Amino acid sequence: MKFTDMGKMMKQVQKMQADMARMQEELKDMTVEASSGGGVVRVVATGRQEIREIKISPEAIDPEDVEMLEDLVVAAVNEALRKSVDLQTEEMGKITGGIKIPGLL
């Protein structure tokens, strides 16, 4: 490999690193939404797997069946986190060309 080729490759790697850092920042503001129980529990998460909001409809609240509400919340949170990981993978794939980079995701 020629020295000029090595320099060109290093510039490409540096650009990719800068693009990935920028995307990590942008993912903080991107959101996904999931729901459970026919929409009675709704969860919004960021592209960085942080829960931003949980909304529970009043009809989901039954003092006699707290376990059901807990299950609905867990289901909606897990689905929101799955969608968040998918969003992150998709957005980073735009930068890496779909190449999986260990430790990135």
Q: What pLDDT is recorded for position 71?
A: 97
Residue 55 backbone dihedrals phi, psi, to 5 degrees: -115, 135
Summarised one tens digit per residue, pLDDT across range 40-84 is: 999 999 999 999 999 999 999 999 999 999 999 999 999 999 999
In percent, the amount of the chain with pLDDT more than 90 equals 59
Residue 3's pLDDT is: 66
pTM tops 0.85, yes or no: no
Residue 58 DSSP label: G
Q: How is the chain split into domains, by residue range?
A: 3-96
Strand 51-56 to strand 31-36: parallel, antiparallel, or no bridges (unpaired)?
unpaired
30, 105 contact by CB (below 8 A): no
Higher per-residue pLDDT: 27 or 104: 27
Q: Does pLDDT of 86 surpass 90?
A: yes
The CATH fold of domain 3-96 = Ybab; Chain: A; (3.30.1310)
Specify which of 1-5, 35-39, 95-99 reaches the highest per-range mean pLDDT. Answer: 35-39
Please state, as a whole number, how many other Cβ atoms lie within 10 Å of the Cβ of residue 80. Answer: 26
